[in-house]
Amino acid sequence: MKSEAEVKTNYRVKKQKSIARIFSNHMLLTGLVIIVIMAIISVLAPFIAPYDPYAIDPLNRLKPPSVEHFFGTDDFGRDLFSRVIYGTRISFFIGAVVAILAGVIGLIVGLISAYYSILDHILMRIVDGIYAFPSILLALAIVAVRGPDVVNVLIALVIVYIPSIARVVRSAALVVKEQTFVEALNAQGASKWRVLVIHTIPNLLSPLIIQVTFVFAVAIITEAALSFLGAGIPAPSPSLGNILFDGKNVIYHSWWMTVFPGSFIILLVLGLNLAGDGLRDLLDPKIVNAKRKKSRLIKTGKKVGRHGQQ
Amino acid sequence: MPQPLLKVEHLKKTFPVESSGWFKKNEVKAVHDVSFDIYEGETFGIVGESGCGKSTTGRTLLRLTEPSGGKVIYQDQDIFSLKEKNFRPIREDLQMIFQDPLASLDPKKRIGYSLEEPFIIQKKGTKKERKEMVLKMLERVGFSEEHYHRFPHEFSGGQRQRIGIARALVLNPKFIVCDEPVSALDVSIQSQILNLLKELQQDFGLSYLFIGHDLSVVRYIANRIGVMYLGEMVEQAPTEELFENPLHPYTKSLLSAVPVPNPKVKRERIVLKGEVPSPLDMPKGCVFHTRCPLAMDICKEIKPPTYKVKENHRVQCHLYEHSEVSEADGA
Amino acid sequence: MDNNKHLLDIRGLKVSFWTEKGRLTAVEDATFSIKKGETIGVVGESGCGKSVTSESILQLHDEQLTDYEGQILYKDRNLLDEPERKLRKIRGNEISMIFQDPMSSLNPVFTIGNQLVESLMLHRKPSKKAAYEKAIDVLRQTGIPSPEKRIHDYPHQLSGGMRQRVMIALAISCEPELLIADEPTTALDVTTQAQILDVLNELQEKTAMGIMMITHDLAVVAETCDRVVVMYLGQVIEETTVDQLFENALHPYTIGLLKSMPSMESDRSDQLFEIEGTVPALENIPTGCRFADRCPFATNKCLQEAPVLENATVSHKVRCWNYEEIALERGNGYATTTS
């Protein structure tokens, strides 16, 4: 029998291995690096931005990128670099808050509908109802009713993205619920709370996290679209969307007004999607891969049986 | 005669079926009027083909699905009439081992946690005591301390089933339902698990309800066997008696269908006609009459009572109508 | 064709797969043959390579991930050298296959009649009417009652046993020379299993096809096969007639398997024989004999040198260094090592 210390080291070695796996997953790594840089930019915006993003300088309108103004200036002569930095801050903040709130509410809604069949019918019809509207239209409508400001944009986006998460959680929870280990827990007399919180949630975590990163990315795009349409963050607050909107009018002679905020949106969304895909690879345990391979082999075998002898 | 540990009387379980008609409410009789006793330290085996209700019987016993009727007497009380809250402490004594050992363990939890959980649910012991007990149990089923921190997917099928057994045993139960515990395992692993179950039974004085479809496995482990067909227990006898002197025509054909691992022996098979009827459309009279080679007119009309042909040997068949009707069945 | 000639002759077959863990050899040095009208059983536990071997005959594995070495001679042609075009003519036509799970092998959106007729048209190109009649005929041969009606059923309308009969009907519809049955009865109940095995036996008597029966159940082998190949961890470790195997098995693994089965006659109070340990993973195959670390007879030689499949008698091959001693000890020594 091995000593306690030996067991512990084995255990630690295993943990280190999973960290090594993150590093060997290039997609996840690239995505995480982009997200972390964007997060640092957002948090440190007041220190990074060289100018006040609201400071108007009518003499220096629409100046191309230069040493003083890295990204040039906009049609009010405001420093574009500072505005993009602050815009990233707002976009990132909105995306993160929407992802977290929609994630938590969606998790609760999904779990409730998976485990309580009466509520399931009610909740899922509401979810279907929300789902039936194109998300941008619904968000527009909500903001139009409540008036454009940051809180209303947040509320609109959370409402719009709860259904996608609730559905993923519900279907995953239904699978977990039918597993024998849940029956084994019932045989021990485990409470519903224990089955839900301690056993079901960890088993849904991977699809949930993947869906949340996806919502994070889409919320950023939707917020940009709302702002672009004038129903998002109201001017003069900078957001990547409304900077783009301002840039649209001058796109033929002031390319920097669209290229820089546009690239930041792309970068943010790309980073999140890469991280989401990478996480999926990481969180699926190895067994799943092996099984997938095996079933592929069997499938090729069955092909002959099924189509009879081709 | 000793008092049985567990007395199952007229157990019924029906499942509602969504039917196409508006006013028709269909139900499937998965288990219909099954009675048997389980004594201390013995193994009662249930055999039957898929869909005969043997697994449902085991699950209903432990109230994993709500029973539709009948009683289960344990320690002088009917456990079906208890509220779940009052039944929880009794669950400690009544445990279960499952067929698919991988699916019966939470894939995201370390083995140690999965095994300690029964204590946590029953609110027993301190953290240290729990760990000690679990390590002792792990060692008993052939593992060492290093396995405590591992995840289920790091084990092979046979090892996982040992873990499933350890989990059923940590609370020191009196009775375990073994639901096809070896049918997912390879032959050589199967014998390891069967031996382990037998050893543990002696060491801990356990009673088993052993559910299986492989007659030679059930024969090896069970003291008494009940044969189920289409939700009913058609015959019940001590193992030797059942194999030497099967009475019910279904038991006879079942025994004759088992392949013999000896090429020199060519047995005469009783091949059954047709198929098991759908449980949605149960035959009138005796459940087996549609396939029975000895069916008589009475079988199509009247359901046979349970006849007590010998002490301990009961059979539900009109062929034995001269025997005494078992009192368990009232009649 | 000469009756004694081999229908299928597998020589030194080696099958490797490319996986995440690198190249894994699932089958190594598999050598055995099947004669016309003969049933050969391939037995072993999960992961022993028995299904991989059978699927290699028709090369059903993903060709980009699989390497085949050795020879699979079918009527003196090496199937491994044949182009895909020619293989397609052999698959399902001359050599066909039935699988464990009939539901997922049948297409749920077509009636069984459609599927039978389709497969007949593919290989034989008869008239539609003739194909239809032939379909009813093969269904009748597999013991399906009133096949004229059943032919219009969809797979989900049939029971498990009936579906397996349909699969057999599909497999024999083109009158194959060789039928590969991969665990054909594992998913079925005993009484249904008995029916299916009877159907296979009858068909073989009628058509004199060769049957390769892949199974983990030695009792099924005893009831149906003429000769048996026992596989362990990708290798053939013993090959002999059924009678020899059950009376006079030589490889310690085979002996262990036979003894660890609870049988209908054995003494119930006995402990069951256990083969110690578990099958090693494919990525760390032992250097010497692959069974050595579980074998009660293992010597130093076993741990270092890999044994070859040699002839113990004319009709009995075994891959073991110590089979002679085991044969001597049999009856007085090994039989009692259980207790």
Task: Please determine, for residue A10, whether its predicted confidence score (pLDDT) is greater than 70.
Answer: no
Number of domains in chain A: 1
pLDDT at position C1 is 43
Contacts 24+ apart (CB under 8 A), C151-157: C151/C111, C151/C112, C151/C113, C151/C116, C152/C111, C152/C113, C153/C111, C153/C112, C154/C108, C154/C109, C154/C110, C154/C111, C154/C112, C155/C102, C155/C103, C155/C106, C155/C107, C155/C108, C155/C112, C156/C103, C156/C108
Chain B residues whose CB is inside 8 A of the A185 CB are 117, 121
Instruction: Establish if C327 belongs to a structural domain.
Output: yes
Tell me which chain B residue has its CA closest to the CA of residue A3.
B145
Q: Tell me if C39 is assigned to some domain.
A: no
Q: Which whole number is the average pLDDT over B118-129?
A: 92
User: Could you tell me the CATH number of the domain that includes residue A212?
Assistant: 1.10.3720.10
The residue segments making up the domain with residue A181 are: 14-306
* pLDDT on residue C331: 55
pLDDT of residue B134: 94
What is the tens place of the pLDDT at every residue in A273-309? Answer: 998 888 877 776 543 444 344 334 333 333 333 333 3
pLDDT recorded at residue A310: 28
**pLDDT of B199:** 93
Check whether C328 has a pLDDT greater than 90: no
Q: Please indicate if any CB of chain C lies within 8 Å of the CB of A308.
A: yes
- Strand C227-232 to strand C210-215: parallel, antiparallel, or no bridges (unpaired)? unpaired
Nearest to A301 among C60, C119, C174 (CB): C60
Q: Chain B, 96-125: which have a CB under 8 Å from a chain A CB? A: 96, 98-100, 103-109, 117-118, 121-122
Q: What pLDDT score does A291 carry?
A: 39
Which of the pair, C284 or C176, is modelled with greater confidence?
C176
Q: Once rounded to an integer, what is the mean pLDDT over residues A251-280?
A: 90
Residues of A in contact with B105 (CB under 8 A): 181, 184
How many domains would you assign to chain B? 1
Q: What digits encode the pLDDT tens for the residues C234-247?
A: 999 999 999 999 98
Those residues of chain C whose CB sits closer than 8 Å to some CB in chain A are 19-20, 55, 58, 60-62, 88, 91-93, 96-99, 104-107, 115-116, 118-119, 122-123, 167, 170, 173-174
On whether any CB of chain C is under 8 Å from the CB of A58, the answer is no
Q: Is residue B317 part of a domain?
A: no
pLDDT for A216 equals 93
Q: Which residues of A touch C118 (CB under 8 A)?
A: 307-308
Q: Measure the CA–CA gap between B215 and B198, rounded to whole angstroms.
A: 17
**pLDDT above 80 (res C332):** no
- Whether B25 has a pLDDT exceeding 80, the answer reads no
pLDDT band at B24 (very low <50, low <70, confident <90, very high): low
Give the tens place of pLDDT for each residue, B54-99. Answer: 999 999 999 999 999 999 999 899 999 999 889 999 999 999 999 9
ipTM > 0.90 for the complex: no
What letter would DSSP give residue C235?
E
Give A191's contacts in chain B (Cβ within 8 Å). 121
Least confident of A176-180, B234-238, B247-251, C273-277: C273-277
Give B259-302 pLDDT, tens digit per residue.
Answer: 888 888 777 778 787 778 877 778 888 999 998 999 899 999 99
Q: Could you list the residue range(s) of the whole structural domain that residue B98 is in?
A: 6-309
pLDDT at A17 exceeding the cut of 60: no
Cβ distance C190 to B257 less than 8 Å, yes or no, reads yes
Is the pLDDT at B330 greater than 50? The verdict is: no
CA angle centred on A232, ends A50 and A92, rounded to 5°? 50
Q: Are strands C227-232 and C39-43 parallel, antiparallel or unpaired?
A: parallel
- Which residues, numbered 251 to 290 in chain A, qualify as contacts with chain C under a Cβ-Cβ cut-off of 8 Å? 289-290
pLDDT band at B21 (very low <50, low <70, confident <90, very high): low
Residue pLDDT, tens place only, C218-233: 889 998 899 999 999 9
pLDDT of amino acid C40: 94
| A3 part of a folded domain | no
- Mean predicted confidence (pLDDT) in B140-167: 91
Nearest by CB to residue C62, choosing from A300, A307, A309, is A300
Helix (H, G, I), strand (E, B) or coil at B96: strand
Neighbours of chain A (3+ CB pairs under 8 A): B, C
B218 versus B321: the higher-pLDDT residue is: B218
CA-nearest residue of chain B to A10?
Answer: B146
Residue A23, pLDDT score: 64
Q: In B, which residues are within 8 Å of A196 by CB distance?
A: none
Please state the rounded mean pLDDT for residues C325-335: 64
Q: How close, in Å, is residue A268 to chain B by CA atoms? A: 31
Residue type at position A266:
I
CA of B119 to nearest chain C CA: how many angstroms apart?
30
**CB-based contact C271 B198, cutoff 8 Å:** yes
Q: The domain spanning residue B242 has which CATH number?
A: 3.40.50.300
C-alpha distance from B61 to closest chain A C-alpha (Å): 11
Mean pLDDT across C273-292 = 86
CB B140 within 8 A of CB B166: yes
| pTM (global) more than 0.90 | no
Concatenating the DSSP letter of every residue in C254-312 gives: HHHHHHHS--SSS-TTSPPP---S-PPPGGG--SS-TTGGG-TT--HHHHHS----EEE
pLDDT(B20) > 60 = no
State the total domains in chain C: 1
Kindly tell me if the per-residue pLDDT of B162 is higher than 90.
yes
Residue A153 lies in a domain: yes
Q: Which of C223, C264, C272 sits opposite B194 (nearest CB)?
A: C272
Domain assignment present for residue B61? The answer is yes
Whether residue C256 lies inside any domain: the answer is yes
Residue B326 forms part of a structural domain: no
Residues of A in contact with C131 (CB under 8 A): none
